[in-house]
Amino acid sequence: MAEQTEAVHGTWSNRWIFILAATGSAVGLGNIWKFPYITGENGGGAFVLLYLVCIVLVGIPIMMGEVLIGRRGKLSPMESMRTLAKEAGASRLWRFVGWMGAIAGFLILSYYSVIAGWALIYVYRLGSGQLDGIGAVESEAMFNDLLADPVTLGLLHTAFMVMTMVVVARGVNKGIESAIRVLMPTLFVLLIVLLGYSLNSGGFEEGAKFLFTFDFSKLSGESVLVAMGHAFFTLSLGMGAIMVYGAYMPKDASIASTVVTVAALDTLVALAAGLAIFPIVFANNMEPSAGPGLMFVTLPVAFGQMAGGTIFGALFFLLVTFAAWSSSISLIEPLVAWCVEKSIASRPVVAAVLGLITWTLGIGTVLSFNEWSDVEFLLGKNFFDSIDYLTANIMLPLGGLLIAIFAGWSMRRSTVQKELNMDSFLLYNLWTVVVRLVAPTAVIVVVVWTLFQDQIVAILGLE
Ligand code: TRP
């Protein structure tokens, strides 16, 4: 089977390339844009703690499961799940887990691209000096003007979709692999520069306190779901992205240490982003709960005051764009890999068609910030919020749950043990318990409780 995959898709040159690619997928808008803003909306520290618990207890074990399935199956998630289910004598229905994931990825990409477009225009705005010395109020007004303009948003979305599909069309190896090698370390350095600024901004203490003081009274039931959903989102889990990257992973690399490295890097970037953004929020009397605009409103204020802010600022948003770019590719790769395997069309044609469909759906998100901002789709939410909620809080956890059950219960123990090849028997057993029981229970409890909170409370007569 291995030779067949290499013929179809290719393999990463070594373990480090897998780490880079998986980190490239994991580190994206989720870390720099979404994590700070949902932390702000959910009251800070207690939410951060919950998110960290979810990364360790649910994220890492399930990520190991995904890589394991991918590397064993060697094909797109749909086909890997199908062949492995057959190998284990399990139901053919398992391949639908691959399908649900592929659809989730495509839905996420449709809005991801719109947000990445904002980063794109901020490269220009900062680089051209338009934001020099800008205050919080002006910065906010500027951002709101952007959101009110569907044409600009649409054009930026178009540009980002084209960037994504060009790389996908060329195959992952040639395009993104070499770019990421340079970009990820640079992003890290720039985050440290920003941290240095916010340390001296006068709001650092308050910012750090907001992130790391655990006030559980600020948490709602929905916060728990958001924290868990975000653990899936930020690690690119639950939809086969990591599975398809695992399929290109060399046989001899250790899954456990690789996965822990990726998760640790991802978490570090998110925390660094939070520590860079919140001090600026407090130093300028802004609101931590500002929502999706948080990063785009706060950071220009900081860069506008900083020496060399024009260059650093433009560079920073350029790197955010790149981080988003390396993530967006993995969102559509499972679907593309499947179409290529089935010889439906050549990779470039598949990329163009899927790109066009995703682009069209993305227009719904573009309009959510202006014309359609009050049009309700699901649960009283507008189009963008609906897709975000449905994918991150429901489809990804559900996908992750099924992946955990498959890796924990359906696959043969001998197969799993051989793929994971862990030196420590204790750690292997620990993983087994977590992936069989702890992670599935956590996901079920959180999703069911949040969705049916009112009914449960009524039935149990808790009030
Ligand atoms: N993890 C990326 C981020 O944090 C987003 C992403 C890429 C993703 N691929 C994914 C999310 C697959 C869920 C599933 O920005």
* pLDDT tens digits, 48-63: 999 999 999 999 999 9
Q: Which residues pair with 309 in a beta bridge?
A: none
- Ligand 1: nearest atom to the Cα of 331: 9
User: To test ligand 1's pocket by mutation, which of 106, 234, 325, 391 has the most ligand atoms within 8 angstroms of CB?
Assistant: 234
Would you say 20 and 253 are in contact if contact means Cβ atoms under 8 Å apart?
A: no
- Render each residue's pLDDT in the chain as its tens digit; 463 residues: 444 444 466 677 677 778 888 898 999 999 999 999 999 999 899 999 999 999 999 999 999 999 999 999 988 999 999 999 999 999 999 999 999 999 999 999 999 999 999 999 999 999 999 988 899 999 999 999 999 999 999 999 999 999 999 988 987 666 667 667 777 788 888 888 888 888 888 889 999 999 999 888 878 888 988 999 999 999 999 999 999 888 888 888 889 999 999 999 999 999 999 999 999 889 888 889 888 899 999 989 988 887 788 888 898 899 899 899 989 998 998 899 899 989 999 999 999 999 999 999 999 999 999 999 999 888 889 999 999 999 998 999 999 999 999 999 999 999 999 999 888 889 999 999 999 999 999 999 888 887 887 788 788 876 5
- Ligand 1 centre and the CA of 461: distance in Å? 39
Reference 337, options 248, 236, 234; nearest CA is 248
Task: Give the integer Cα–Cα distance in Å for 38 and 25.
Answer: 20
Task: Give the integer Cα–Cα distance in Å for 247 and 72.
Answer: 7
Look at residue 377 and give its three-state secondary structure: coil
The protein residue whose alpha carbon is closest to atom 6 in ligand 1 is: 236
- Ligand 1: nearest atom to the Cα of 29: 15
Task: Give the integer Cα–Cα distance in Å for 12 and 6.
Answer: 10
* pLDDT tens digits, 236-270: 999 999 998 888 888 888 899 999 999 999 999 99
Burial of 425 (0-12, 13-18, 19+ CB in 10 A): exposed
Asked whether the CA dihedral 14, 15, 17, 18 is positive or negative, the reply is: positive
- Ligand 1 centre and the CA of 26: distance in Å? 6
One-letter amino acid at 66 equals E
Element spanning 34, H or E = none
CATH 1.10.10 fits domain 2-460: no
User: To test ligand 1's pocket by mutation, which of 269, 322, 331, 336 has the most ligand atoms within 8 angstroms of CB?
Assistant: 331
Asked whether the CA dihedral 316, 323, 223, 55 is positive or negative, the reply is: negative
Q: Which residues pair with 381 in a beta bridge?
A: 378
Reference 300, options 121, 139, 112; nearest CA is 139
- Ligand 1: nearest atom to the Cα of 235: 1
- Ligand 1 centre and the CA of 216: distance in Å? 27
Reference 72, options 400, 347, 346, 406; nearest CA is 406
Element spanning 58, H or E = none
Task: Give the integer Cα–Cα distance in Å for 55 and 419.
Answer: 22
- Ligand 1 centre and the CA of 420: distance in Å? 24
- Ligand 1: nearest atom to the Cα of 238: 14
One-letter amino acid at 115 equals I
Look at residue 10 in the predicted model and tell me its pLDDT: 64
Domain residue extents for the chain: 2-460
Look at residue 172 in the predicted model and tell me its pLDDT: 64
